[in-house]
A = this chain, B = another copy of it.
Amino acid sequence: MAIKLDLRRLEAIKSTDHFKILKDKALKYAKEIENDNSIGFTHLPETSRYIEDAETISLKLPDGIDTLLVLGIGGSALGTKMIANCFGEHLKRRLIVLDNVDPDTVKSISKKINPQKTCINVISKSGSTVEPISLFKYFFNLFRENLGEVEALKRTVITTDPEKGNLRKLATSFNILTLEVPQNVGGRFSVLTPVGIFPLYYAGVDVSSILRGALKQKKEGVEQAITGSIVDYMFYTGGKNIKVMFIYSDRLYTFGEWYLQLFAESLGKKVKKNGEEIRIGATGVLAKGVTDQHSQVQLYKEGPDDKLFVFFRLEKKHDVIIPPAFDQDKGFSYLTGKTFGELMFAECEGTIQALENDGRPVILYEMDEITPENMGRLIYLFELQTAVAGFLYGIDPFNQPGVEEGKTIAKKLLGYN
């Protein structure tokens, strides 16, 4: 299996009655989720149409483009960032994903692009998300000042709802190239829709392999996904309100950011049960291996026993060797001939064992290498796992009612009514 889940010293929980009862439930939920046509994400691995759409749009864009500026936020940005961070060094076009409205960053990005050689992809499912809309106004205006309105419009692609919203209206009025976000897929589950497929395809990522990996995982990985859901459920309900994602790969770090959005928005919910309001949701924390061993491990090891630890590592890689230098000193020579891959692996293993020795719950995902196919697997695995966990908690993993109030207050402060 390309992705291995190792329960390590927790392996014994699999034989408990509690686990077995949850497993039966979770298997049933997974089947329900995959058979429900109103839940879109499970059908995306078989959907090659969005790649064809991406190809069609790409052919209509001007020649000589070397940069795609993606304006989106949350689920409209994180999937693309995740994959771009894995493969960004070897792409045919530069992908810049701008998912904040910090004026310093806006200025800095505007200096890094040449409008003549850049296209804009503005993404908002609702068509009215304030951040991409305000960034779109800014960058469209910049392009218009540099190239004129006709050329600026030619360099624009809108990704939004097929029928509704301000961006859809705009696309129709100005005859702008558009792509559709399917109505049955929420933002955080949308990386395999045009939201992620178009920018990744246009930048040169092998998106077919991503879909192929997702499909393989869908066929082979249900047991792995539900095991993850059950571990989440058991440890959260058992009192661990923090889940640490400890990722031993710089290229996979943004996978962690993508996943923590999926996790937080899907599983952080209030529900009424027997007339009582219950608030649910572990808080995800991202840690970078080995770096955060020198930052957070003191707390993880000696601090309160309130955490579930989920480690990620790659199989040992042997391509970068630590060479001889200053080997007259034993503190230097013991590293000579080792690889950085072995060093990462040993440090990860040392950290895991140190936590386990203190009785902390640890599970480990191991992936053979970072390929588009494996990233497709990861995406599907964690989407399904999250959805099933939601069903175990008895909550709706697909809504996000808690984000509205802040938006409304902000709009009022900006004078919108």
User: Which residues of A303-348 have CB atoms within 8 Å of chain B's CB atoms?
Assistant: 303-307, 317, 319-320, 322-326, 328-329, 331-332, 334-336, 338-347
CB-based contact B409/A350 at 8 Å: yes
| Most chain B beta-carbon neighbours within 10 Å: one of A268, A269, A319 | A268
Q: Which of A24-32, A44-52, A133-141 contacts B (4 or more CB under 8 A)?
A: A133-141
CB-based contact B323/A141 at 8 Å: yes
User: Which residues of A94-120 have CB atoms within 8 Å of chain B's CB atoms?
Assistant: 99-108
CB-based contact A334/B415 at 8 Å: yes
List of B residues within 8 angstroms of A13 by Cβ: none
The complex places the Cα of A304 from the Cα of B408 at a distance, in Å, of 22
List of B residues within 8 angstroms of A130 by Cβ: 335, 343, 347
Q: Which of A15-23, A195-203, A293-301, A380-388 contacts B (4 or more CB under 8 A)?
A: A293-301
Q: Which of A4-12, A209-217, A276-284 contacts B (4 or more CB under 8 A)?
A: A276-284
For A136, the closest partner residue in chain B by CB is: B325
CB-based contact A103/B320 at 8 Å: yes
User: Which residues of A364-417 have CB atoms within 8 Å of chain B's CB atoms?
Assistant: 400-403, 405-416
**A89, CB-defined interface residue at 8 Å:** yes
The complex places the Cα of A280 from the Cα of B338 at a distance, in Å, of 38
**A261, CB-defined interface residue at 8 Å:** yes
CB-based contact B414/A343 at 8 Å: yes
CB-based contact A261/B338 at 8 Å: no
CB-based contact B320/A307 at 8 Å: no
CB-based contact B261/A296 at 8 Å: yes
Give this chain's copy count.
Answer: 2
CB-based contact B137/A288 at 8 Å: no
Per the CB 8 Å criterion, the residue count for chain A at the interface is 121
Partner of A403, one of B281, B293, B331: B293
For A249, the closest partner residue in chain B by CB is: B102
Q: A107-B320, A283-B307, A340-B101 are in contact. Are A302 and B268 (CB under 8 A)?
A: yes
**A251, CB-defined interface residue at 8 Å:** yes
**Nearest-CB distance from A81 to chain B (Å)?**
10
**A264, CB-defined interface residue at 8 Å:** yes
**A192, CB-defined interface residue at 8 Å:** no
**A353, CB-defined interface residue at 8 Å:** yes
CB-based contact A104/B325 at 8 Å: no
CB-based contact B402/A301 at 8 Å: yes
CB-based contact A280/B295 at 8 Å: no
CB-based contact A414/B335 at 8 Å: yes
| Most chain B beta-carbon neighbours within 10 Å: one of A74, A137, A306 | A137
The complex places the Cα of A304 from the Cα of B279 at a distance, in Å, of 5
The complex places the Cα of A228 from the Cα of B413 at a distance, in Å, of 28
Given contacts A301-B402, A302-B401, A334-B414, 14 further A-B contacts (CB under 8 A): A101-B343, A106-B340, A107-B320, A131-B343, A133-B332, A137-B336, A264-B295, A270-B303, A279-B302, A281-B304, A293-B406, A346-B411, A347-B410, A354-B406
Q: Considering the complex of A and B, which 5 residue pairs feature the smallest CB-CB distances, nearest first?
A: A268-B299, A74-B294, A350-B410, A281-B303, A350-B409
Instruction: List 25 A-B residue pairs with CB atoms under 8 Å apart, sorted by A's residue number.
Output: A78-B295, A103-B340, A104-B250, A104-B251, A107-B320, A133-B331, A133-B335, A134-B322, A166-B331, A169-B329, A257-B295, A264-B295, A264-B303, A279-B305, A283-B283, A283-B299, A283-B307, A298-B400, A300-B402, A301-B405, A301-B406, A335-B414, A346-B413, A355-B406, A357-B405
